[in-house]
Structure 1
């Protein structure tokens, strides 16, 4: 059992999970607002030995140096790599602090978002931001059947999106660090990034936070009359060539502003950004809560 557990910001746990936290530490404090800076984070942690946080705050070395009692940090958000984490994991490792994170809790909502927006785009459902009727992407309503879809990053969410599109009849290719046996068995074609961009009509980037693969050359390979989805937590592109590509006959879909990057693009007539996180569903909070508690219980033995 922890002596003192501090949630330095809202951590989106369901009520039953939050109630369970109070049995895992002698003293539990749950902050309901986001701290303004590193100094405030350190002040909130104080002499606590356990810390919880979500994705909206950064727990850096400066804050941790002021909190010598910390032994455990539970990230109530995705942890894919030290480089993309909002916790200074290398420093935590130096100190012997255990850092845990969550994976694969909001992917289902992201898959539904991609399918929903693609169907609306192909069929011409709904209204444009200016109130005019949406025209079908091809000028005439079409199905996903036969679509050449390219997935960049065939991890859990990328794989689920590929499977869903395949179910609707799409022809799937993907780019990843290496060819995946299970993808080959499903008939997914492993391509170089250049080949995928050139051959695909719809490209979906499913990358870790702060991973950028689309530069000037890649946008030239992608070409015109294409649809680009970004399902990550940050842009998968360099801003300057992206802005130039947007001026062509292309469309980009992002569910949130962090995925789009610069707010100036949100009103662009070739951008569709809802400014919500499609992975934040009721079921996702259930899965998140279960995994956060499981991480704590495993640490406590």
Structure 2
């Protein structure tokens, strides 16, 4: 009987959202619903596991951790991209890495939750209503007739663009290799440069893949370019926006506000300055956390494990 561990099942739903009984005669599955932040504890928990299922990038698997798990043979991640797994190290240690399907719609929907929450002061007004504060204390920002600037126009960004157009927004987009034709297909106009997009947008939303060319793409200089009445939203990866510069931008009023679903360290430390930054709407990385997505993730994990045990792994990464 093989041992399998499902990591970071924060909501305690992995067992009910897939038919793990299909593996019951071959694998003993355990579910861990808390974040484990040290390699020593992970090794203690996973040392006798041949199979590990991870949720996105919640628990990284760098080379040094993989080397300390000699029994590990299959690593399954939700989605088909996971920058926190060292694929070269996995291959060197004979570990097969597989992924699952993932839906682009949930992060699109959450992006708009953040944009609307910022624009209409939902955090402030909702808090006032619950706590007996003033009745109406903010003046909302309009979407209709305003400019939405999108950094990145892939599967998610293009869907965000179409929603923006439905709100009556002027949608522009920029990325290094984006063409005017591709932008037009999503109902957007190609910005001449990143700088022009930042200079002219009322809302800026980040939808780029994290890489060496996008890490720190928005630093202090870029945030200072934005209008003081503009809002920044990031549901992509935290490292695309310089986090220290973002805190300063909020505290010094360079921008009107920011919303983020992603952070350099997750779970976010209790003393992190973003927790108390003014006009900041933060969520605990919920972009992909919906029932439909989770059903796909965990059912896909079961399928990956079955295929691996049958000697024909599917959806391999690397």
Q: Normalising by the residue count of structure 2, what TM-score does the alignment of the two structures yield?
A: 0.76
Distance 2:202 2:239 in 1: 20
Shift of 1:150: 0.8
Taking the TM superposition and a 5 Å limit, the aligned residue runs for 1:195-234 are 195-208=196-209, 211-234=215-238
Shift of 1:165: 1.3
Q: 1:295 to 1:208 in 2, by over 3 A?
A: farther
Secondary structure of the residue aligned to 1:56 is coil
Distance 2:7 2:265 in 1: 24
Q: Is the 8 A contact 1:92 1:98 kept in 2?
A: yes
Distance 1:154 1:94 in 2: 35
Shift of 1:148: 0.9
Q: Is the 8 A contact 2:7 2:32 kept in 1?
A: yes
Q: 1:104 to 1:16 in 2, by over 3 A?
A: closer
Residue among 250, 256, 259 paired with 2:256: 250
Q: 1:279 to 1:209 in 2, by over 3 A?
A: same
Q: 1:279 to 1:68 in 2, by over 3 A?
A: closer
Secondary structure of the residue aligned to 2:99 is strand
Question: Per-residue CA shift, 1:172-213, capped at 9, x if unaligned?
Answer: 211223125543323322222112111211000123458431
Distance 1:89 1:151 in 2: 30
Question: Per-residue CA shift, 1:62-101, capped at 9, x if unaligned?
Answer: 332233232210123x5535xx32x222211222322123
What's 1:135 paired with? 138
Q: Verify: 1:291 aligned to 2:293, yes or no.
A: no
Q: Which has the higher contact order (CA 8 A, sep 6+)?
A: 2
Q: Is the 8 A contact 2:161 2:186 kept in 1?
A: no
Aligned-residue CA RMSD (Å) = 3.2
Q: Verify: 1:98 aligned to 2:96, yes or no.
A: yes
Structure 1 unaligned spans of 5+:
none
Secondary structure of the residue aligned to 1:266 is helix
Distance 2:242 2:121 in 1: 30
Q: Is the 8 A contact 1:215 1:238 kept in 2?
A: yes
Residue among 273, 281, 294 paired with 1:264: 273
Distance 1:53 1:189 in 2: 38
Q: Normalising by the residue count of structure 1, what TM-score does the alignment of the two structures yield?
A: 0.80
Q: Is the 8 A contact 2:158 2:186 kept in 1?
A: no
Q: Is the 8 A contact 2:262 2:284 kept in 1?
A: yes
Distance 1:274 1:66 in 2: 33
Distance 2:283 2:2 in 1: 42
Secondary structure of the residue aligned to 1:34 is coil
Q: 1:291 to 1:145 in 2, by over 3 A?
A: farther
Aligned residue-pair number: 291
Shift of 1:274: 4.4
Distance 1:118 1:16 in 2: 30
Distance 1:259 1:222 in 2: 26
Secondary structure of the residue aligned to 2:178 is coil
Q: Verify: 1:10 aligned to 2:9, yes or no.
A: yes
What's 2:315 paired with? none
